[in-house]
């Protein structure tokens, strides 16, 4: 709060897991687009299982999109990564210029020293962008819960590491030259072994594979043979509204809330359990990793919110900004490097308000088709649409239609109310349409398809 810029919070992508969110931050893509849809997953096309503990995660075919270190390198910059999910993988056949293969036993001090040594390189060999990963306080949050002495100690360790980095920058007289972003991938929720939803309470026979936890998924047990024939509709039906209270809701993956952007990938299993906060969906009573903390829940839960702090010559000072999604950070990093981002799900320029002098200033595209006004030739419809309703309480059809024939002043009032920021621009060629104004809304009516291309209206707060 005393220097740099920070957000009220940063919203993680769903599921609020480590690998999906770390890779979203450096690609600007939702997990369904970059392919790392969870820390553990199965790809039927590859017939392979991805996990944090296995060697499969080092294979490039799992990692889609272009991480920021490759974006930088493709534009003649250098990148140094002292840990980051995906940074020790030859994505697209290429590693970062300088990188260290992940080893969680390397002390934080050694990681910071590694970054500082790279900064000491001669200019031609010095990276332009760096990544650094610190496990805490996530590890302690899992062990002790988010509000615990263990997490306080872990925060002190992380703070000490950041302090060491800042001291190193000051010793090199770089503390006013480097743009620094400190962020988290997700939050943490308290969990209890007494708050478990057992699948054995819902199914006579649990003859499927369950990815247990706060973002549970279900697939066939025998893969790849039964992957596409598993009775997903039957599973959802059996698990739906069977107990009261029930602390999860089963979904066919395409029916999940669209704001999750979590459906369009073969790795996302076809049945998903959206779990209540503090609860876990598990197979049976043999599950024991439950007391402490966990994450993966709905990304709108307050406990899943992440931090975002930024400091350096490009960032505004003593500034708090509203929350934003972590898909926006990739474009921001590209702007700090003065490079063009790869295609991504973020909105380029949406974080310009964090910067003293934005590098990229979006401009509105030029309109291709402009509207005419909708003429009124007659108040009697040319086509009655087969309607034979009898209007008894309000005047004649002609009188009713007269209400739709707004005066010039009424049209101005409708535009002011329903188009306060101007009308939508039509970017398709050869679209013939007119502005059709009503008291309650304004439409861009297409002569080609005989229906609105768009409709604008304002809803007043109650």
Task: Give catalytic residues, as residue numbers.
Answer: 18
Residues whose CB is less than 8 angstroms from the CB of residue 251 and which lie 6 or more positions away in sequence, other chains included: 236, 271, 272, 273, 274
Which of 116, 77, 73, 82 minimizes the C-alpha distance to 101? 82
HSE-CB at 280 with a 13 A cutoff on CA atoms is: 25
Q: How many other CB atoms are found less than 10 A from the CB of residue 247?
A: 16
Strands 10-11 and 180-183: unpaired
Which of 186, 181, 179 minimizes the C-alpha distance to 13? 186
- Distances 266 to 38, 161, 271 between C-alpha atoms, Å: 13, 39, 12
- Distances 289 to 41, 211, 274, 294 between C-alpha atoms, Å: 19, 13, 19, 10
Q: How many other CB atoms are found less than 10 A from the CB of residue 370?
A: 10
**23-48: b (≥16 Cβ within 10 Å) or e:** bbbbbbbbbbbbbbbbbbbbbeeeee
- β strands within 314-450, DSSP E: 319-321, 324-325, 372-373, 433-437, 442-446
**403-441: b (≥16 Cβ within 10 Å) or e:** eeebeeeeeeebbebbbeeebeebeeeebebebbbbeeb
Rounded to whole angstroms, how far apart are CA atoms 147 and 188? 9
Calculate ∠ Cα 101-44-92, nearest 5°: 40
Tokens (6 digits) for 75: 């534009």
DSSP output for 263-297: -SSTTS-SEEEEEPTT-EEESSTT--TTSEEE--S
Q: At what angle do helices 149-171 and 108-119 cross, to 10 degrees?
A: 20
Tokens (6 digits) for 303: 């406990």
Q: How many other CB atoms are found less than 10 A from the CB of residue 64?
A: 18
Beta bridge mates, 79: 129
């Amino acid at each position: 709060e005393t220097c740099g810029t920070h957000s009220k919070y940063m919203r993680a992508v769903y599921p609020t897991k480590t690998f999906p969110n770390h890779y979203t931050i450096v690609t600007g893509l939702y997990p369904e687009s970059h392919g790392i849809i969870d820390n553990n997953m199965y790809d039927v096309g590859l017939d392979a299982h991805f996990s944090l503990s296995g060697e499969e995660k080092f294979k490039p075919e799992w990692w889609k999109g272009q991480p920021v270190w490759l974006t930088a390198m493709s534009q003649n910059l250098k990148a140094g990564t002292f840990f980051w999910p995906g940074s020790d993988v030859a994505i697209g056949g290429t590693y970062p210029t300088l990188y260290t293969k992940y080893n969680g036993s390397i002390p934080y001090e050694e990681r910071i020293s590694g970054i500082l040594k790279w900064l000491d390189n001669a200019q031609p060999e010095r990276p332009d962008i760096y990544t650094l990963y610190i496990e805490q306080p996530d590890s302690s949050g899992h062990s002790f819960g988010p509000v615990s002495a263990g997490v306080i100690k872990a925060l002190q360790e992380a703070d000490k590491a950041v302090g060491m980095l800042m001291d190193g920058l000051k010793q090199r007289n770089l503390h006013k030259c480097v743009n620094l972003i400190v962020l988290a991938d997700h939050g943490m929720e308290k969990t209890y072994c007494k708050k478990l939803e057992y699948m054995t309470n819902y199914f006579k026979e649990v003859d499927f594979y369950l990815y247990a936890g706060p973002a549970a998924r279900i697939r066939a047990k025998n893969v790849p043979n039964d992957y596409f024939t598993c009775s997903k509709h039957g599973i959802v039906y059996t698990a739906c509204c069977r107990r009261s209270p029930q602390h999860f809701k089963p979904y066919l993956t395409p029916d999940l809330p669209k704001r999750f952007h979590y459906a369009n990938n073969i790795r996302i299993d076809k049945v998903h359990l959206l779990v209540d906060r503090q609860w876990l969906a598990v197979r049976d009573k043999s599950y024991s990793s439950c007391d402490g903390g966990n994450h993966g829940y709905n990304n709108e839960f307050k406990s899943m919110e992440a931090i975002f702090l930024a400091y350096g010559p490009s960032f505004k000072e003593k500034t708090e900004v509203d929350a934003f999604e972590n898909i926006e950070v990739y474009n921001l990093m590209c702007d700090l490097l003065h490079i063009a981002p790869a295609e991504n799900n973020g909105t380029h320029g949406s974080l310009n308000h964090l910067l003293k002098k934005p590098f990229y200033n979006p401009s509105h595209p030029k309109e291709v088709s402009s509207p005419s006004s909708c003429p009124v030739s007659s108040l009697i419809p040319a086509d009655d649409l087969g309607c034979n309703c009898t209007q008894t309480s309000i005047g004649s059809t002609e009188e009713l239609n007269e209400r739709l024939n707004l005066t010039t002043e009424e049209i101005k009032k409708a535009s002011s109310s329903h188009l306060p920021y101007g009308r939508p621009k039509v970017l398709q060629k050869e679209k013939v349409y007119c502005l059709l104004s009503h008291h309650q809304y304004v439409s861009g009516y297409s002569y080609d398809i005989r229906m609105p291309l768009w409709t604008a209206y304002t809803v007043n707060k109650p």
